[in-house]
Amino acid sequence: MNAERTMRGSGVGIEVVGKVVRGLHLVPDPDDPVRTAAEAPVRAPDEDRSMLDALVRLRADLAHPQAPTRVALFAPASLFRRIDVTGATGVELAETRSRLDHDHGIASTVLLDDGPRRWLVAIRWSSSTARRLEELAERAGFVDVAIDPSPVALARVLGRDVHRARLAGPNGGFDLLLRDGVPVAAAATGPRGDLRHLAQSVTAFPSGWFDDLTAPSDLVREIGSMVDESAPDDTVTVAGWSYPQFPAHDLRAPARVCVALGAAVGAAGLAGRLRPVDVVDAPATAVGSLEYPWVVERLSELPDTSPTTIGPVKRFVASVLPRRRRR
């Protein structure tokens, strides 16, 4: 087995955004943790051949790494918010996921642990696209591939005092709200500006602000209005050390690779317990209008008859008298 695949602190992070794929290889070297960084254009993101070609070129530019890989994405119209599932059993979690799929069309979820608290992040995005990118990354040669929502990846490299963040650029971005380093809600945004930039704010917000909001339009509006207060700040950290600053045109610039860096931190095992994105495989109609799983059959219309039984005296006599043998 390749030693790099089992070495804690080594991981590959990839971000798919618009018509660009970005990636970097993180290694356990305090002097130079980012071994390589690269990006490749994607001519037609919806075409498998075009995306596969871009991923193959990205892997070649990263010097063919053999470390675990996380692919981060958060396409336009994507949205998520967290639900408190502390203390829920496995059966209760499965029921919650099924209800999210049936009532809201949300098939993807991911569990996040925060000390004694446990959160279920309900992700509204294209689950088929996520699976497709996971498969294409494996075909391109990346190993141990898993999928990450881009806001979750970014949260791993922001300070625990950051409560609001906005990542924007010509290929799109997202608004993110956090509490104690754990994502609360996020919404994808369209292209903004010519250069990618990261904004952050430490201003807190009410913890239960989104508990009663279920309509996607309401969530997007509230998230955007809260993140508007963020100020430009591209400071990111990795496992306690500050990521170095690079010019905006450099492929290693913080605002440019922050999502890929967060995905690599997760792949490298530097962000605590890492859970995969769970997808409800059963269609929503499985929990549809028929709420009762048993089968209703027509029974006989004949009247019920009571079974004939013998009394205690006859039972005693029958046990004493010898039975007649059949010849």
Domain ranges of the chain: 3-279
What CATH number matches the domain at 3-279, 3.40.50.620, 3.40.50.300, 1.20.1090.10, 3.30.420.380?
A: 3.30.420.380
Q: What's the Cα-to-Cα distance from 252 to each of 35, 62, 240, 281, rounded to whole Å? A: 10, 13, 19, 38
Structure tokens at 77: 């119209």
Least confident of 105-119, 147-161, 241-255, 290-304: 290-304
Q: What's the Cα-to-Cα distance from 157 to each of 152, 198, 205, 229, 296, rounded to whole Å? A: 10, 12, 20, 20, 55
pLDDT of residue 37: 92
pLDDT of residue 262: 95
pLDDT of residue 137: 97
pLDDT of 296 strictly over 60 = no
- Cβ-Cβ contacts under 8 Å for 51 (sequence gap 6 or more): 16, 21, 42, 44, 45, 133, 136
> What is the tens place of the pLDDT at every residue in 69-91?
999 999 999 999 999 999 999 99
Residues 39-42: contacts with CB under 8 Å, at least 24 apart: 39/251, 42/16
Residue 264's H or E segment, with its range, is helix 254-267
Other Cβ atoms closer than 10 A to 18: 16
pLDDT of residue 288: 44
247: β partners: none
pLDDT-derived band at 321, boundaries 50, 70, 90: low
C-beta of residue 181 within 8 angstroms of C-beta of residue 160? yes
**Three-state secondary-structure class, residue 221:** helix
Residue 118's H or E segment, with its range, is strand 117-124
pLDDT of residue 291: 46
C-beta of residue 23 within 8 angstroms of C-beta of residue 37? yes
pLDDT of residue 300: 60
Give CA–CA dist 78/123, Å, rounded.
7
Q: For a pLDDT cut of 70, what percent of the chain falls above it?
A: 82
pLDDT-derived band at 292, boundaries 50, 70, 90: very low
pLDDT of residue 229: 82
C-beta of residue 68 within 8 angstroms of C-beta of residue 205? no
C-beta of residue 83 within 8 angstroms of C-beta of residue 122? yes
**Closest of 68, 70, 56, 69 to residue 3, by C-alpha:** 68
Distance spanning both ends of the chain, measured CA to CA: 78
Q: DSSP state, 271?
A: S
Q: What's the Cα-to-Cα distance from 87 to each of 84, 92, 93, 116, 118, rounded to whole Å? A: 9, 9, 10, 9, 8
* Mean pLDDT along residues 34-61: 95
pLDDT of residue 285: 42
* Mean pLDDT along residues 271-300: 59
pLDDT of residue 1: 45
Q: For a pLDDT cut of 90, what percent of the chain falls above it?
A: 61
* Mean pLDDT along residues 37-46: 95
pLDDT of 326 strictly over 80 = no
pLDDT of residue 239: 78
